[in-house]
A and B are shown apart, each in its own frame.
Chain A
């Protein structure tokens, strides 16, 4: 596993959307979400600075997606994690666990102080989601598992006449797994309008650009051909994400949100780099990273 042992010299990616947290706005909701995104990034950095390190890049690219889902979209109640009417969030890209842990803490499923347990031997905070933790619906980490489970949950909602929705968050490299396409085909064929897939399209997998490994494009056309409605958004823009998630589904079609993201988002000096995939931050790197994401608080 690649470790971030020195600050890479890579520059920031040229087409970055708005700074995280820098949304200078009078909209209190937007300001609240921006502040939460900063806090989530701080916690991801702290976990990556623990002895074991963590999946930094793919957690940072997910932040706005999970913040918007957990604060604006999903009907979940930390007091009733097994409520049969709850919406279902499956983090199929399980290596985004640090972001999930931080967002679940932010949402109140467990105290944020518990994140200090991340990586502690014998504790529950593993590098992939532990279903023993409140709010973690299923184990994940091996790729290609979430969408089939989502198909089953959405079929069950239909059987039960429940309006609850199922959201599956996938990595883009993960789309190379065949099981994803089995589930895409089934979801389209069954017309599962209650199912939403989100692709964290940061374009990077461990050995490089997805298109240089086994290409995914034309990704929108492929999803459409399997019977899905495709919504493409800037995955770091809460407004665009919210709009994509709240738009009414097309009749008889599940929805996929192709979220253009940047791996390592929030740390311009690692953004868009493969080396950000896994990082064990030293103290100097930790301080620099925290200061960088905290800059986002300034208007």
Chain B
């Protein structure tokens, strides 16, 4: 065993006041700087004992970063964290666990190759004479699962479970730890209405035992139902704090969105052309049952920006992936310019005129080891062949043209792609797509992780491309952006289209309501969209 780092400072600087008002954990003046962005800017956040402390904000507001700091995954650039009035220094998730801070991650962190029971007790195995006490683990796992009112065999492999059941396992894993503080990041995103009810019962039970809950969710009604204290983050700053009983949904939205930055993005009125893309009954089954895409049908006209809105996991990204040919197991029909598209592979789809700007720029959009130019030409290299060799001059010309066209700020097209800011990297990905001479642009969260200035430039480019007759599919989780930019908006929930709105009839409320269809217990009494 290595020497344990001091994670708890001595009790000398114990402040009594913290204990009195029920604050168990407090983050004070936390700043977190990532290269290029300030994720958190001087944020203070109190966690009250036996309460549900809600953290809300739009995507990129800094919720997840704050939560990761509290769980020891990330370390703050500035600021301190106090537990019971004592400074703590979390260097790893293990430190947080030792202090009784548990976390349920949004992206599931389970080992698919292990059983439910093995996952729940991973790294905390119950031992008897050095061996794993399998009987006892099994019995306790059964108890935990019963407490969550589920029917899951402890011996099933986690990989064989539905996503919702996996989420339950993740929750059971946290419960098995006897935590004092439990962080839940979007715990209900994959749960059905009845499972959410059960989760809420468990949360209330934990509250009554004095466990402090930090709860992060996008589902506003749900937050008001279960939350006690609400903290709103926006652009890395704390903008509001209130008791849940004193606020309503519109207060939440107002504070989350703030001044309406949609004014920054102006959509130009355009004349729409003929039907460019027609999709009929696009279906993608989910391994383990159900659908990732549930019989999707829609049309896209030339020169149209078609927005797709939905919660995480609604299937928007899968839809554009399917159109780009990245999911060969899809069924359904796609017409482009009235011709049935029969191609299946990505390269053939690019040939037909589909191009995807993927959601995760770093992982799927760029080759980090290559230069700006090499990245930009990667998808259209065969246009630069002279015999069997690459025509260097032609490559340079093309690159220079795109750099100018999209005003990409680079000193030199040979410089490494990693030296560019996020916004400029994104423009390189867009340029790469445009060089394949596409007809339909599939933009998956094109503004994620880039600053406001770069965002408006991306929107400017989208406007121009639509004006030139491209069909643009614009997937985004940012309500105001999608409202500002789209000629028409389709809302997806659980793999199906749950709402369709023209630019003039769409409002934030309508989109949020449609995106929650089939999700929470409260979604039933909200106005529902058209479609499936």
B and A form one assembly: no
